[in-house]
Amino acid sequence: MGVGAGPGIRVRVSPSDTASWSADPYTRALRAGQGPLFLRRTDGWLLPLDVERWCAEADAVDMDVLRRCEGAVLDVGCGPGRLVAALGRQGRRVLGIDVSEVAVACTLRLGGPALRRSVFDSLPGEGRWGTALLIDGNIGIGGDPAALLDRTSRLLTPGGLLIAETVPDLDLDERVHVHVTDAGGATGTPFPWARLGTPALLRHAERAEFGAVGQWVAGGRSFVALRTSGVSGRR
């Protein structure tokens, strides 16, 4: 099904590598709109996932993030689409991308444009997005923050904005393999993931030629705003 993503852009839901986030526990949780759901490390440590918040409407903390967005917005790892839908209601140009078929379907049901694709796949509007979002832990996508930041910089227009959510109150720079699991012990396929606190993200960002333009904490969540170089030749 084709969906609009701003002037001159038409996108189509297409297959991608969905082994991790289309696993049964995640799919069931999004369809139900609730957890419990966790990321489980190989040592047994569990990270709770806030499925209920993801499936609700954008809250005050989310809306503050969205007010900071500039130009056309790419929501990387959009999940069930609350941010995409909120931006759409404001008349903003926005596209959500996610590797999960059910996440994309949820976003489309909310009236938001979405594409089933990895951030590392070919995407519409490359080099022309005004803002990219990496919210709800999505700085961890791929388990390699340097590669993700480099890729994101190439999606943004020169001088474009990246807003990323980090782990609050920790100088954490963790690369692990995890799988999605639920309270009943059902598990998905293991995949690489990363967790970063703000200091670690700023170190990676500097090496990727992003400049920090904002840091804030709201509702127990932590965010960083970064801006790419304004020199178009770096692409």
Structural domain spans, the chain: 2-15+59-176+193-234
pTM (two decimals): 0.89
Q: What percent of the chain has pLDDT over 90?
A: 83
C-beta of residue 87 within 8 angstroms of C-beta of residue 74: no
| pLDDT for position 186 | 86
Is the pLDDT reported for residue 37 higher than 70? Answer: yes
| pLDDT for position 55 | 98
Name the maximum alpha-carbon separation found in the chain: 51
Is the pLDDT reported for residue 202 higher than 50? Answer: yes
- Average pLDDT in the chain: 89
**What one-letter code names the amino acid at 211?**
G
| pLDDT for position 21 | 56
- 2-15+59-176+193-234: CATH topology is Rossmann fold (3.40.50)
Is the pLDDT reported for residue 116 higher than 90? Answer: yes
If phi > 0 it is left, if psi is from -120 to 50 it is alpha, else beta; for residue 8 that is left
Cβ atoms < 10 Å from Cβ of 15: 9
Of 62-66, 92-96, 173-177, 186-190, give the lowest mean pLDDT range: 186-190
| pLDDT for position 32 | 95
